[in-house]
Structure 1
Amino acid sequence: MEATASMDIADRLAAVRERIATAERDYGRSPGSVQLLAVSKRQAVAAIRAAQAQGQQAFGENYLQEAADKREALADAPIEWHFIGALQSNKTRPVAEGFDWVHTIDRLKIARRLSQQRPPAMPPLNCCIQVNVSGEASKAGVEPADAAELARSVAELPGLALRGLMTLPEAVMDFAAQRAAFAQLRAIQQALIAEGLALDTLSMGMSNDLEAAVAEGSTLVRLGTAVFGPRPEKTT
């Protein structure tokens, strides 16, 4: 990667980190309580290396084959790999065997397969339940009313560590509406914590709604182009 491109990523990362820090201050969050997940789908290995050289450790991938190629190329780097794409039951093994986190569990069948396929020698696979808080037919995720039951079941599975909840709400510009969507997820999390589940993660917030997510308790925001710049077109 050219030096100028690496400098661009360094500058973008610095800007994103400052944006997160500002939101933490503005909404009474503790410094460092919100982590950045750099969404690296369709980004080059060199771009990921450039971000990792700037201290970014967690990267999110959506496509299994692309992620496998990147993990192989970056095996020497201390990277925490998160799977954030749609997950079909016949594609669970690569996630169980190759990732540190999965954010998109929305069915017990998926969780059971991940549990069965997680190698015993590896640490438990960190998991989030994906909740469709906006009720969009085009979005994956369990219905809010069913999220607690699924979370309880996933928490009992060996080889998995249920860490929290994730959502991808409807894209709206109104700040109050953004906060209302994220507040739904926080309420589900708080109810489960009250039951005794040790949930420490709310994976919510992207470039257009980061501040609203932080205001409502997000612990992990998912940003791609804000870190890497424009995403290359997908090739067939």
Structure 2
Amino acid sequence: MRERLAALRARIDAAATAAGRRPEAVELLAVSKGHPASAIREAHALGLTSFGESYAGEALPKTAELRDSGAQWVYLGPVQSNKTRLLAENFSWVLGLCSLKAARRLDAQRPDDLPPLQVCVQVNADGDPAKAGLAPDQLDPFLESVQDLRRLTVRGLMTIPRKAVPAAPVTGPPAFEVLAELFAKQVAAGHRWDTLSMGMSGDFEAAIAAGSTQVRLGTALFGPRPAKPGTGTGTGTDTGTPGVDAHHD
């Protein structure tokens, strides 16, 4: 993992420099879903502090085991109403908020002794029917609806672009450009945002070129996910969580 991380850091730095940006302006979010707590400990020892999980049933034993590590836990994916309490009580961030009902539940269930839950709103920037997220023209009304929820703090936007066919051009999928423009518009309107989360293991350099401040890397960092028992595959799902947008790295 040390070698993989060094190679990824070098690629992130090169992409940022080529785009005229500071390399330190791009955060690496380690997508640890599907990997054991031991792998997260190894990554944490190498200096990574933020870890992304998509399945509550899988994540909670890890958060308990690593409670004293100082790790920051990030939930990735659409938020189901029956999971909001688990997320509100055990995660620092939610990337993928796009439901007003879920937002209200997270706000109501966030414990008073914890800081506000940090969230990024998911935008379906290229209209992919297989992806969750708000349409770009739904963003302003959604932000108005959640502005009074004091236990949530909106930090920015995130997206998962549709797979390009043929391969994406050097400038990256159009979704990256759309989201970057939306982000810039909202910042200009007065939102004090700092997180534009886009780019995964296969396209993070294009995302950085478009302005991403956070890339979500799992397979490229941890290697292939271990097979789930009885499935023969490392891409199984957790029975209480949505299958939509299961791929976040």
TM over 0.5: yes
Residue 202 (structure 2) pairs with residue 212 (structure 1): no
Q: Tell me the equivalent position of 1:4.
A: none
Report the 3-state secondary structure (helix = DSSP H, G, I; strand = E; otherwise coil) of the residue aligned with 2:96. strand
2:187 to 193, 214, 235: 193
The superposition leaves residues 93-138 of structure 1 with CA deviations (integer Å, 9 ceiling, x where unpaired) of: 1111110100010111111111111011100110000001121111
Deviation by residue 1:41-62 (Cα, 9 ceiling, x = unmatched):
1101111100000000010000
Q: 1:69 & 1:100 partners in 2: Cα distance?
A: 16
**Which residues of structure 1 form unaligned runs of 5+?**
1-8
Q: Point out 4+ residue stretches in structure 1 off by more than 6 angstroms.
A: none
Trace 1:112-127 onto structure 2 (pairs within 5 A). 112-127=104-119
Gaps of 5+ in 2: 231-249
Instruction: Return the letter of the residue paired with 2:217.
Output: L
TM-score normalized by the length of structure 2: 0.88
* Aligned partner (choices 81, 94, 105) of residue 97 of structure 2: 105
Shift of 1:199: 1.2
Work out the number of aligned pairs and report it.
Answer: 228
CA-based RMSD? 1.3
Counterpart of 1:6?
A: none
Aligned-residue sequence identity (percent) comes to 48
TM-fit CA distance, 1:152:
3.0
Offset at residue 177 of structure 1 (A)? 6.4
1:174 aligned residue (148, 168, 171)? 168
Higher helix share: 1
2-side partners of 1:81 and 1:232: how far apart? 21
The superposition leaves residues 72-97 of structure 1 with CA deviations (integer Å, 9 ceiling, x where unpaired) of 11112110110002311111111111
Assess, with a 3 A threshold, how the Cα gap between structure 1 residues 176 and 13 changes in structure 2: closer, same or farther.
Answer: closer
Q: Which of residues 218, 226, 231 in structure 2 aligns to 1:232?
A: 226
What is the TM-score of this pair, normalised by structure 1? 0.93
